A and B are shown apart, each in its own frame.
Chain A
Amino acid sequence: MKNSMEFPLLAQHLQAAALAQPEPPVDLWTRIAQAHARRRAQRARLRYAGGALVAGLLCALAVAGMRWHGGAAHGDENIDWQARAQALELQLAALDHAQTAATMVDAGDVEAELAHVDRLLQTAYDHASYTNELVPLWKRRSELLNTLIVARKQGLALTRI
């Protein structure tokens, strides 16, 4: 393998090159410090712009989320299905009280579904689910209670006849 030692004269020249320590321009450090300051300022601007962008996105997401939840809660002509279901339940309890086992109309399917919806509601509350998941369950519960009330009323009318 060749190296400069095979050429003594060349080796001398290269040693001279190694020993030479040329001076950098006197203002080089100033230029480096200025370049660093520019880079820092640019990064600060980018961080500020990035922060503003993130804040804007978070605000937009929050507004969208509020509208989504609000929209779901105020759907179906702003009906409070939970309050309605509770009112219907009281009404059904009053009808049940007026009926005897003999006059009670068989509504097993509806009652089974009502029990299922109750379990779903319980699960939803246990998991702290969002309003948009609860509303359909309360709505379905109201519908089932309404069906039961209608069936109970029909049973009472038939008994009276």
Chain B
Amino acid sequence: MNRSADAELAGATEVAGFAQDIDAMTLVRAQRGDMAAFAVLYARFGRACYGLALRLVGNAPQAEDLVQEVFLKLIETIRSFRGDAPFGAWLKRMTVNAAIDQLRGRKRFADADPDEMFSQLAAVDAAPMQSIDAWTLLQQLPPRARAVVVLHELEGYTHAELAALFGQSESYSKSILARALQRLHAYVAPAAGQPT
């Protein structure tokens, strides 16, 4: 990565993640196809993009592929960005859409109904886990359920938005979310000595 990209990254510490803004000149340069400008955009948003991708797809190699796919698409479509929404929000939506497309591509989970999705999981170990980190916790869920939890609980998506994203009814994501939270609670409660 070049020096200007590093400098951009250093100056972007006050506002984190997708909430950061970009200056008009960088946007114009990127829209002209200047790869140095895209390096600046990656320096600013790459980490947020990767973090979201990792939470959604659940493993590092797929998250890296997803970030690559998103930035390649960004390079091709940035001319269509008119600034109606903040750039970070636009990129975040692009990342979420790419992740959902990837999940849809997994035939095994494509048409899984919530009952089937959770019935395939092993029972939660009765032995209390002394400590469980947030990342390990999310890994306990099937891919779609993890995506629903991340998008609804962490990214603030509504069930109506999830329904549109997954091409399902609102009750579909509501059902998955309820089951996923019950399951996650079953992991963390014993560790804290709470009833499950």
Q: Could you list which residues of chain A lie within 8 angstroms of chain B, going by C-beta atoms?
A: 1-4, 6-7, 9-11, 13-18, 20-25, 28-33, 35-36, 39
Among residues 112 to 140 in chain B, which have CB atoms less than 8 Å away from a CB atom of chain A?
132-135, 137-138
Closest Cβ–Cβ distance, residue B182 to chain A (whole Å): 7
Q: Is the CB of A3 within 8 A of B39?
A: no
Q: Is the CB of A28 within 8 A of B135?
A: no
A79→B16 CA distance, assembly (Å): 86
A17→B42 CA distance, assembly (Å): 22
Q: Could you list which residues of chain B lie within 8 angstroms of chain A, going by C-beta atoms?
A: 1, 16-17, 35, 38-39, 42-43, 46-51, 54-55, 63-64, 67-68, 71-72, 75, 132-135, 137-138, 149-150, 152-154, 174, 177-178, 181-182, 184-185, 188-189, 192, 194
Known: A32-B42, A32-B68. A9 touches B192 (CB 8 A): yes
Among B67, B153, B174, contact of A28 (Cβ-Cβ < 8 Å): B67
Q: Is the CB of A1 within 8 A of B174?
A: yes
B residues in contact with A39, CB < 8 Å = 72
A residues in contact with B51, CB < 8 Å = 20-22
Q: Is the CB of B134 within 8 A of A13?
A: yes
Closest Cβ–Cβ distance, residue A150 to chain B (whole Å): 76
Q: Which residue of A lies closest to B42 (CB)?
A: A29
A20→B72 CA distance, assembly (Å): 25
B residues in contact with A30, CB < 8 Å = 1
Known: A1-B174, A28-B46. A17 touches B71 (CB 8 A): no
A residues in contact with B132, CB < 8 Å = 13
A residues in contact with B43, CB < 8 Å = 29
Among A9, A20, A36, contact of B194 (Cβ-Cβ < 8 Å): A9
A16→B150 CA distance, assembly (Å): 12
Q: Is the CB of B17 within 8 A of A21?
A: yes
A residues in contact with B185, CB < 8 Å = 7, 9-10
A7→B185 CA distance, assembly (Å): 7
Known: A14-B149, A16-B133, A17-B135. A29 touches B181 (CB 8 A): no
Q: Is the CB of A13 within 8 A of B188?
A: yes
A24→B64 CA distance, assembly (Å): 7
Q: Which residue of B lies closest to A26 (CB)?
A: B1
Among B134, B181, B182, contact of A20 (Cβ-Cβ < 8 Å): B134
Q: Which residue of B lies closest to A37 (CB)?
A: B35
Q: Is the CB of B188 within 8 A of A10?
A: yes
Closest Cβ–Cβ distance, residue A15 to chain B (whole Å): 8
B residues in contact with A16, CB < 8 Å = 133-134
30 contacts between A and B (CB under 8 A): A1-B178, A2-B182, A3-B152, A3-B177, A3-B181, A7-B189, A9-B185, A9-B189, A9-B192, A13-B137, A14-B134, A14-B153, A17-B138, A17-B150, A20-B134, A20-B135, A21-B17, A21-B51, A22-B47, A22-B50, A22-B51, A24-B47, A24-B49, A28-B67, A28-B68, A29-B71, A33-B39, A35-B68, A35-B72, A36-B72
